[in-house]
Structure 1
Amino acid sequence: MVVGVGAVLGILLGLVFVCGGLLRWNELRYRKKGLPPGTMGWPVIGETSEFLKQGPTFLKNQRARFGNLFRTHILGCPTVICMDAEVNRYIIMNEGKGLVPGYPQSMVDMMGKWNIAAVHGPRHKAMRSAMLGLISPTAIRDQLLPKIDEFMRSFIRCWSDQVIDIQEESKELWLHSALKLIASVETGPLAKDLKSEINKLVLGTLALPLNFPGTNYRRGMQARRSVVSMLEKLMEERRASPSSQLDMLDSLLRPDDPAKPKLSDEQIIDLILTLIYSGFETVSTTTMMSVKYLHDDPKVLEELRNEHFAIRKRKSANDPLDWNDYKSMTLTRAVIFETLRLSTVVNGVLRKTTQDMEIGGFVVPKGWRIYVYLREHNYDPFLYPEPFKFNPWRWMDQSLESNQCFMQFGGGGRLCPGKELGIVEIAIFLHHFVTKYRWEEVGRQKLLKFPRVEAPNGLHIRVSNLLN
């Protein structure tokens, strides 16, 4: 018995020694003069677990120890975390000066090498130009807005006297709307299959790139292959069809302007995936959280309804919304911006250094990533008095929307090309939802804010007709 206890203690001491040695080795491996202070965690995995599980708490603790600029190792890469507003703005606005997009390998693998968030230089210019051609303000006004309005009316038509999970419905809403706008795909088996695979793909974008059975990365890569196969089949059918659908896919496959560069099938697929994924993460989450915040603040909801009933008074019951109606939704736009700020749907962006760079008084080595952490800027009391209060009226001053510290849509040459389309989607949904229904939450609701905003058990609401 004594021998057994001694052996166990020896094994434990050996493990402690080995673990300590690994941690020490990993710190020494990345020790270089001029580097920001910080810790690197374990070999290979670094501090990814702490980052994903503790999120803002982990980053706040590290900032308290090391300052606004510190090093770590997350998502498979040595990374510098920047929490300084001025430095962050410089990084975002100065791509090309030794900085390029630095998204994790897992995200590049899931979204494709032509994903607009990952490419830079001439590739980025070509893909951004192609995307802007599809979702420019003119395209939204003349082609997309009428389709969105028709879709939203139809999608929420049967919600009365139902208990729904607004988180799942928001994802369905965006996905089906996107598929209709992109490829005229209606609800049905294809849309259902795509949703299932895209869910797996989204989880894979924030996973360590470990291609082992059972990992989110492996499932995500399998999902990408499935989605690519579905889109390839859709493109084949479209090319074989003599008729035109007048949608984004037609525009990509049969460009009406010979001067526009013709995209390869691989580029088209990655562009479509980018359009679907970006809204799946941002538009659906902002839609869910706007419903949550409006439920919790009856005063804001009442004023929002007044804005939308004023629009309905100018129209007959079945008249569609138009661009002028949308532009008159000033409080609605403010609600959307305040929802983005308070829930922080976008926590930050990633850049990668192409050379040794001096940032904030430190040297960031070539090939390292910089995580431009935006979350804390949204709760700065100097920018936003009572920062944790839902107060859309703060956005009624247009200068706040253009404030350089609000970077939820990126900035510079990386300003999100789908910004206005996303706002239009949410605004038109809110118009039909608040003028037709009232709602109350059902059960206990749990919300997580990191690494993505989500309700693990769903966000259930009971919906009823407003005029009952």
Structure 2
Amino acid sequence: MNSFITILLLIVPMIILLLTITKRRRSSSKRLPLPPGSLGLPIIGQSLSFFRAMKSNTAEKWLDQRTQKYGPISKLTLFGNPTVFISGLAANKFIFTSNSSGITSNQQSKSTRAILGDRNMLELVDHDHKRVRDALMLFLKPESLKDYVGKMDGGVREHLDMYWEGKQQVKVLPLMRRLTFDIICSLFCGFERGPKRDEFVDLFPKMVDGVWSVPINLPFTSYNRSLRATARMRKIVRNLIHEKRVQLENGASPHQDLITCLLSIRNDDNEELITEEEILQNVIFVMGAGYDTTSTLITFLVRLFANDPVVHASVLQEQEEIAKNNPSGESLTWEDLAKMKYTWRVAMETLRLFPPVFGGNRRALKDIEYDGHIIPKGWQIFWVAYKTHVDDRIFPEPTKFIPSRFENQASIPPYSFIPFGGGPRICPGMEYARIETLVAVHYLITRFSWKLCGDDSFSRTPLPVPSKGLPVQITSRKVW
């Protein structure tokens, strides 16, 4: 009996030890490593070298070198945050179906969050995101935008009369920014030309400059200038919200502009569905998005038409047919826009090669397993659009300009063409951008011809910006 107890006392600890070792091994085997790469210096990390690459238009090469060295997932420090860079079709799908993936739906960098706030669509998740998105879509959905085609048409014609007609040379990018901003001010805020709009024109570039900046708040930094511009813009928009609320109470139409539309939306208790702070932040957000992205697309279309006579001739033929069917010169209609199929395919191919939005950020809400690695809770996730846009398995001969790629969009894999995002996070202003682009191209190409004046290279700041604003020599054409 004593020998049995002795043996038992020897065996039991051994069994316990064996089970403990096995459990630890199993636990250890489940522990995935961090992605490869280096975080670099605190806060700064690789931000400065990335910004240099953006400015010299070598950011794609910069990220390609990372991918070649580390693979499709790697760690670094960007915009003051520890970051994981992911790329490819699987990464895009992961990013744009993020509601169930443990990451914020569109978490911003520290600098972007400080400038745009924490109640705009980029920050909101789940119910709050849907509530604000649905409210914005009441104004931005195609059925509503049909009513604003005439107003856009008038804005484009007025702009060309003021800034293009009678000129021998113009700089395209600043004028396209002015055009898109004037239309935004009218449709979103309801104020026309005057000191208020002029002040906005001055403030917006300063605000945008700080969005991708290193968040160091010193007087000489773009981040500091952006914060000061944002503070002034918020004051102007907040005063505007108060004015619109009074107008609405006095019987103004809820469809006169975006701010009034958002103020008019009520919940079941007849309370405003969107808070004043949410209206303020989201109006500034959509103004900023529409101001820069659409103006960049139109600018690159002007650049394309100057460099590619075949595409130019085909777009001109399509637009002249529409103009000839409108001899009285009335505003373009929704039906006219539907006929601009080739023009919009050209625009989409331009977006594939030169996406205005280079990439974006998310943030992990918990430890996430992705591609055999751990993305730690709180870390930033950085994605880019170009990787799938130039993937020859998706777009054969990706460096060639082939608008016919988009004749059958159903053949393009989901989450591979993402200039407007994808899935539940697709840009709510996509249809607005399409209408504005088509209206602008129609009048530009039927009223003027042009040729480039010198260099047409560009850099990213972070949007693609042509050298010297893309100066062109212009000649007036026959107006049908």
By the TM > 0.5 criterion, same fold? yes
Query: For residue 24 of structure 1, what is the aligned residue in structure 2?
Result: none
Query: For residue 77 of structure 2, what is the aligned residue in structure 1?
Result: 73
- How far 1:393 sits from its partner (Å)? 2.3
Query: Are the structure 2 counterparts of residues 97 and 384 from structure 1 closer, same or farther at C-alpha, using a change threshold of 3 Å?
Result: closer
Query: For residue 147 of structure 1, what is the aligned residue in structure 2?
Result: 151
Query: For residue 48 of structure 1, what is the aligned residue in structure 2?
Result: 47
Query: For residue 126 of structure 2, what is the aligned residue in structure 1?
Result: 121
1:372 is paired with a residue whose SS is strand
Alpha-carbon contact 2:37-2:70 (below 8 Å) kept: yes
Count of residues in Structure 1 that have an aligned counterpart in Structure 2: 436
Query: For residue 361 of structure 1, what is the aligned residue in structure 2?
Result: 372
1:61 matched to 2:69? The reply is: no
Alpha-carbon contact 2:83-2:381 (below 8 Å) kept: yes
Q: After TM superposition, list the pairs within 5 Å mapping 1:30-429 onto structure 2.
A: 34-54=33-53, 55-100=59-104, 101-141=106-146, 143-158=147-162, 159-162=164-167, 163-241=169-247, 242=250, 244=252, 246-255=256-265, 261-400=272-411, 403-429=414-440
Query: Are the structure 2 counterparts of residues 234 and 88 from structure 1 closer, same or farther at C-alpha, using a change threshold of 3 Å?
Result: closer
| Whole-angstrom CA distance in 2 between matches of 1:424 and 1:305 | 17
1:70 is paired with a residue whose SS is strand
- How far 1:108 sits from its partner (Å)? 1.3
- How far 1:91 sits from its partner (Å)? 2.9
Tell me the amino acid that sits aligned with residue 378 of structure 1.
H
| Whole-angstrom CA distance in 1 between matches of 2:444 and 2:132 | 34
Alpha-carbon contact 2:89-2:415 (below 8 Å) kept: no
Alpha-carbon contact 1:448-1:455 (below 8 Å) kept: yes
Alpha-carbon contact 1:113-1:119 (below 8 Å) kept: yes
2:415 is paired with a residue whose SS is coil
- How far 1:346 sits from its partner (Å)? 1.8
- How far 1:402 sits from its partner (Å)? 6.6
Alpha-carbon contact 1:69-1:84 (below 8 Å) kept: no
CA offsets 1:9-63 (integer angstroms, 9 cap, x no match): xxxxxxxxxxxxxxxxxxxxxxx96111011111221110111112222211111
Tell me the amino acid that sits aligned with residue 237 of structure 2.
L
| Whole-angstrom CA distance in 1 between matches of 2:378 and 2:265 | 38
Alpha-carbon contact 1:161-1:462 (below 8 Å) kept: no
| Whole-angstrom CA distance in 2 between matches of 1:190 and 1:450 | 26
Query: Are the structure 2 counterparts of residues 418 and 402 from structure 1 closer, same or farther at C-alpha, using a change threshold of 3 Å?
Result: farther
2:462 is paired with a residue whose SS is coil
CA offsets 1:224-246 (integer angstroms, 9 cap, x no match): 11001111222333344446362
1:446 matched to 2:457? The reply is: yes
Tell me the amino acid that sits aligned with residue 264 of structure 2.
R
Query: Are the structure 2 counterparts of residues 254 and 94 from structure 1 closer, same or farther at C-alpha, using a change threshold of 3 Å?
Result: closer
TM-score between the two structures when normalised by the length of structure 1: 0.88
| Whole-angstrom CA distance in 2 between matches of 1:109 and 1:153 | 37
Alpha-carbon contact 1:68-1:82 (below 8 Å) kept: yes
Tell me the amino acid that sits aligned with residue 44 of structure 2.
I
Query: Are the structure 2 counterparts of residues 380 and 260 from structure 1 closer, same or farther at C-alpha, using a change threshold of 3 Å?
Result: farther
Alpha-carbon contact 1:151-1:177 (below 8 Å) kept: yes
Query: Are the structure 2 counterparts of residues 366 and 115 from structure 1 closer, same or farther at C-alpha, using a change threshold of 3 Å?
Result: same
- How far 1:173 sits from its partner (Å)? 0.9
2:96 is paired with a residue whose SS is helix
1:156 is paired with a residue whose SS is helix
| Whole-angstrom CA distance in 1 between matches of 2:46 and 2:135 | 38
| Whole-angstrom CA distance in 2 between matches of 1:256 and 1:355 | 34
Identity %: 26
Alpha-carbon contact 2:94-2:101 (below 8 Å) kept: no
Query: Are the structure 2 counterparts of residues 393 and 260 from structure 1 closer, same or farther at C-alpha, using a change threshold of 3 Å?
Result: farther
- How far 1:167 sits from its partner (Å)? 0.5
- How far 1:401 sits from its partner (Å)? 6.0
Alpha-carbon contact 2:263-2:272 (below 8 Å) kept: no
1:440 is paired with a residue whose SS is strand
- How far 1:450 sits from its partner (Å)? 6.0
Tell me the amino acid that sits aligned with residue 142 of structure 2.
P
Larger Rg: 2
Alpha-carbon contact 1:349-1:371 (below 8 Å) kept: yes
| Whole-angstrom CA distance in 2 between matches of 1:68 and 1:236 | 48
